[in-house]
C-alpha cells in the first residue's frame, strides 16, 4: 500500500477503536476502581486475576489463567500469527497500611497505580475487538496481566520457592522462565505517575537494577531481665549491621545512583526474652548491574560485622532482583506519536535514556530480551508507595492510555505489520532467554557466617 493509504486506513481504525473505548468508558473505569477496592499483594492476586480474566473472556478471548500462580494471558490473532505485540498490566498492590484504600487485613493498597494499568489493558482489548481491525491487521496482540511486580514479602516468596511453587520471586521473571513471553515480540505497559503537571505522557528513561537480600541473624534467647548475659541478641546484631551499612554511604558514587535500604521484618517475639532471631529484608540498587555487583559484597560484609560483634550466626540469602530498564527507541517513537495525537505534542515529554529516578521494575528484565516501551502517564497525586498516592483522573489514567495503546498496536500491525517487523529487526536483544535465566539463577546464593568463639 502507498504510505498515504496506510495513513488513512490507520486513522480510520484508530478512530473506530477510540469510539469503542469511549463507549465502554464506565466499564473500563469500573474495572480499575474494582481492583483498587480489593487490593492484593504479589502472587496473592487471586480475585484481581479472576476479574481481569472474566473481563477479557467477555470479549470472546480465550484466557490462560494461573500463569506463574496468578498471571493471565490471552492472545487475539489477526491475519498472520506473528509478530505479536504484548500489552501488559500489573496485578499487584504494595503494602501501605496507612493508605486510604488499604485492605484492613493485609495492608495491601494500590499506592503504585497498578489498578489503572488493568483498566488500560481491558480498554485496549475493547478498542482492538472490532471486525474492521481484525481484517486490517497482521500478527497478534497478547493481553498479559502479570503478578508480583513489587518485590516485597521476600520471606513468604522464598517459602513458595522452597515449596516449588515458583523459582523466581517476581511475576515477569517467573513468566519469562515459564515461556509466557516466548511468542511475544515486543511489549508495552503504561505506569501512572504523580509527577506534575497532570495530563502528560513521559516516554523514555531507564530504571535501576537491583539485588535483593534476605538476612537472618541467629543468636540465643534468654531471660532479658534475669539472664541477659546468657543470651546472644540477634536484634543488636541486625542494628549494628544497619549502622555498618550507613558507614558505606560516603563511598557511593553519584553516577551509580546507588540506593541501599532495608527493613527489619523480625526483631524478637517477647520483650522479656533476648531476641534470639532477627531478620532483615533489603535491596542494593544501582544504575547498572556492575554497580550493584560492586556494592553488594560490601553490604554483605556489614551483615557479618554485626554478627561478629555479637557472636551470632548470620545467613545472607542473595536473590536476583531486577535488571535496569532498556526502553526501545523505535517502539517509544510509535507510542509517543499516538500519545501526541490524543493529548497534544506539548503534553508528551521525552526522558533521556540514561535518566533513572532510582526505582526498579521487572519490565527491566523483559527489556533485556525483547523491545519494550514503559512510559508514564501523570494522572495521580501524592507520593508513590506513600499513604496519599491516588489516581486523580481515571480518564487520563485508564481511558486515554487505552486509546494510545490501541493506536500504537494499529500502527505496528497495519500494512502487513511493517512497523512491528521494523522494530523487531532493528532491536539487538541484550540477552538471550537462556542466558537471562542462567544469569539470574546464578544470583541466588546463600552465605553462612558464624564468627569463631572467643
Ligand atoms: Zn510500585
Ligand atoms: Zn508500580
Q: How far is the CA of 12 from the centre of ligand 1 (A)?
A: 36
Q: How far is the CA of 401 from the centre of ligand 1 (A)?
A: 19
Give the closest residue to 38 by CA, choosing from 24, 54, 49: 49
Q: How far is the CA of 383 from the centre of ligand 2 (A)?
A: 12
Residues 6+ apart with CB under 8 A from 138: 78, 79, 80, 413, 414, 416, 417
Reply yes or no on whether the pLDDT at 169 is more than 80: yes
Reply yes or no on whether the pLDDT at 1 is more than 90: no
Same domain, 190 and 329: yes
What are the grid coordinates assigned to 356, written together?
Answer: 533513572
Reply yes or no on whether the pLDDT at 454 is more than 70: no
Same domain, 116 and 201: yes
Same domain, 14 and 113: yes
Domain boundary residue, one of 321, 339, 366: 321
Give the closest residue to 267 by CA, choosing from 328, 329, 221: 221
Q: How far is the CA of 158 from the centre of ligand 1 (A)?
A: 20
Q: How far is the CA of 192 from the centre of ligand 2 (A)?
A: 8
Please give the residue range of the domain that contains residue 52: 3-207+324-430
Query: 442 in a domain, yes or no?
Result: no
pLDDT in tens, 279-295: 999 999 999 999 999 99
The pLDDT of residue 82 is 85
Same domain, 154 and 165: yes
Domain harbouring 282, CATH code: 3.30.70.360
Q: How far is the CA of 384 from the centre of ligand 2 (A)?
A: 8
Give the rounded percent of residues in the chain with a pLDDT score beyond 70: 100
Q: What distance in Å separates the CA atoms of residue 334 and residue 421, rounded to the nearest whole number?
A: 13
Q: What is the DSSP letter of 347?
A: G
Q: What distance in Å separates the CA atoms of residue 421 and residue 181, rounded to the nearest whole number?
A: 17
- Nearest listed ligand to the Cα of residue 88: 2
- Please give the average per-residue pLDDT across 71-96, as a whole number: 95
The pLDDT of residue 269 is 93
Same domain, 117 and 247: no
- Nearest listed ligand to the Cα of residue 152: 1
Q: How far is the CA of 300 from the centre of ligand 1 (A)?
A: 26
Q: How far is the CA of 152 from the centre of ligand 2 (A)?
A: 12
The pLDDT of residue 80 is 82
Give the rounded percent of residues in the chain with a pLDDT score beyond 90: 97
Reply yes or no on whether the pLDDT at 129 is more than 80: yes
Same domain, 253 and 329: no
Same domain, 51 and 192: yes
Q: How far is the CA of 95 from the centre of ligand 1 (A)?
A: 10
Reply yes or no on whether the pLDDT at 79 is more than 90: no
Q: How far is the CA of 112 from the centre of ligand 1 (A)?
A: 5
pLDDT bucket at 228, cuts 50 / 70 / 90: very high
Task: Tally DSSP H helices, then E strands, for the chain.
Answer: 14, 19
Q: How far is the CA of 3 from the centre of ligand 1 (A)?
A: 41
Query: 453 in a domain, yes or no?
Result: no
Domain harbouring 354, CATH code: 3.40.630.10
Q: How far is the CA of 232 from the centre of ligand 2 (A)?
A: 40
Q: How far is the CA of 294 from the centre of ligand 2 (A)?
A: 26
**Domain count along the chain:** 2
Reply yes or no on whether the pLDDT at 453 is more than 80: no
Reply yes or no on whether the pLDDT at 176 is more than 80: yes
Reply yes or no on whether the pLDDT at 237 is more than 90: yes
Same domain, 341 and 317: no
Q: How far is the CA of 280 from the centre of ligand 2 (A)?
A: 23
pLDDT in tens, 317-376: 999 999 999 999 999 999 999 999 999 999 999 999 999 989 999 999 999 999 999 999
Same domain, 199 and 214: no
Same domain, 59 and 157: yes
Same domain, 339 and 202: yes
Amino acid at each position: 500500500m502507498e504510505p498515504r493509504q496506510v495513513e488513512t486506513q490507520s486513522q480510520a481504525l484508530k478512530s473506530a477503536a477510540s469510539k469503542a473505548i469511549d463507549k465502554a468508558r464506565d466499564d473500563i473505569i469500573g474495572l480499575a476502581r474494582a481492583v483498587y477496592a480489593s487490593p492484593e499483594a504479589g502472587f496473592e492476586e487471586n480475585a484481581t486475576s479472576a476479574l481481569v480474566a472474566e473481563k477479557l473472556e467477555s470479549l470472546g478471548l480465550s484466557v490462560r489463567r494461573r500463569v506463574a500462580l496468578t498471571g493471565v494471558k490471552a492472545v487475539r490473532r489477526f491475519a498472520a500469527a506473528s509478530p505479536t505485540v504484548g500489552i501488559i498490566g500489573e496485578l499487584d498492590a504494595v503494602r501501605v497500611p496507612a493508605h486510604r484504600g488499604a485492605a484492613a487485613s493485609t495492608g495491601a493498597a494500590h499506592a503504585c497505580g497498578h489498578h489503572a494499568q488493568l483498566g488500560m489493558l481491558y480498554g485496549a482489548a475493547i478498542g482492538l475487538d472490532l471486525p474492521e481491525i481484525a481484517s486490517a491487521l497482521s500478527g497478534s496482540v497478547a493481553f498479559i496481566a502479570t503478578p508480583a511486580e513489587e518485590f516485597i514479602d521476600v520471606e513468604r516468596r522464598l517459602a513458595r520457592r522452597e515449596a516449588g511453587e515458583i523459582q523466581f520471586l517476581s511475576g515477569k521473571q517467573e513468566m519469562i522462565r515459564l515461556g509466557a513471553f516466548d511468542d511475544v515480540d515486543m511489549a508495552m505497559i503504561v505506569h501512572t505517575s504523580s509527577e506534575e503537571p497532570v495530563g502528560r505522557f513521559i516516554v523514555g528513561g531507564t530504571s535501576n537494577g537491583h539485588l535483593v537480600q534476605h538476612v537472618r541473624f541467629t543468636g540465643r534467647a534468654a531471660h532479658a531481665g534475669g539472664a541477659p548475659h546468657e543470651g546472644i541478641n540477634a536484634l543488636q546484631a541486625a542494628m549494628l549491621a544497619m549502622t555498618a551499612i550507613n558507614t558505606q554511604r560516603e563511598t557511593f558514587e553519584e553516577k551509580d545512583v546507588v540506593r541501599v535500604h532495608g527493613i527489619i521484618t523480625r526483631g524478637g517475639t517477647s520483650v522479656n526474652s533476648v531476641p534470639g532471631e532477627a531478620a532483615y529484608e533489603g535491596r542494593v540498587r544501582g544504575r547498572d548491574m556492575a554497580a550493584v555487583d560492586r556494592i553488594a559484597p560490601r553490604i554483605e560484609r556489614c551483615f557479618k560485622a554485626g554478627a561478629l560483634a555479637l557472636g551470632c550466626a548470620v545467613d545472607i540469602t542473595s536473590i536476583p532482583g531486577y535488571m535496569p530498564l532498556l526502553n526501545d527507541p523505535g517502539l517509544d517513537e510509535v507510542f509517543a506519536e499516538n500519545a501526541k495525537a490524543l493529548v497534544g505534542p506539548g503534553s508528551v515529554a521525552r526522558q533521556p535514556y540514561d535518566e533513572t529516578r532510582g526505582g526498579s521494575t521487572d519490565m527491566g528484565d523483559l527489556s533485556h530480551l525483547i523491545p519494550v516501551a514503559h512510559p508514564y502517564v501523570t494522572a495521580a497525586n501524592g507520593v508513590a508507595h506513600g499513604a496519599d498516592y491516588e489516581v486523580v483522573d481515571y480518564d487520563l489514567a485508564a481511558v486515554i492510555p487505552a486509546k494510545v495503546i490501541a493506536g500504537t498496536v494499529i500502527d505496528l500491525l497495519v500494512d502487513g505489520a511493517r512497523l512491528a517487523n521494523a522494530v523487531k529487526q532493528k532491536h539487538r536483544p541484550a540477552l538471550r532467554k537462556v542466558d537471562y535465566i542462567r544469569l539470574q539463577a546464578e544470583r541466588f546464593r546463600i552465605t553462612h557466617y558464624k564468627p569463631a568463639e572467643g
